[in-house]
Chain A
Amino acid sequence: MKKFWVLLKKEIKELMTAQLILPFVIVVIIFYFIGGYLQNETKKVNTNYQPIAIMDLDQSQLSKEIITFLESQNFKIDKFVKSNLTNDFENYLKENKINSGIIIPQNFQIDAESLRAPHLMTYSQITGFSLIASMKSASLPTVTALINNLVSDKIINGKIKSDNAALLKNPYITVENVMINNKTAVTSARQIITFASQQTMFIPIILFMVIILSAQMVAVAIATEKENKTLETLLSTPVDRKIIVSAKMLAAGIIALVMAAVYMLGFKNYINGISGGSFSSSGEGIKDAITQLGLSLSNSDYIILGIGLFVGILLALAIAMILGAFAEDAKSAQSVIAPLMVLTLIPYFLTLFADINTLQPIIKYIVYLIPFTHTFLAGQYLTLGQVQPVILGIIYQFVVFIIFVYIAARIFSSDYIMTMKLNFGKKNKI
Chain B
Amino acid sequence: MTQGINLLKVERKRDERLVYLAHFLKVGSIVLLIFYSLMVTALFSFSIYLGQESTKTSQQIETKQRQLEGLKKIESLQLVLKQRLSSLTELMTKRGASYQEWLSQLDQKSEPGITIKQITILDSGVMKISGSASQATVLARFLDKLAEENPIFSTVVLTSISRQKDGSYLFNIDLKTSNATQTVS
Are A and B physically bound partners?
Answer: no
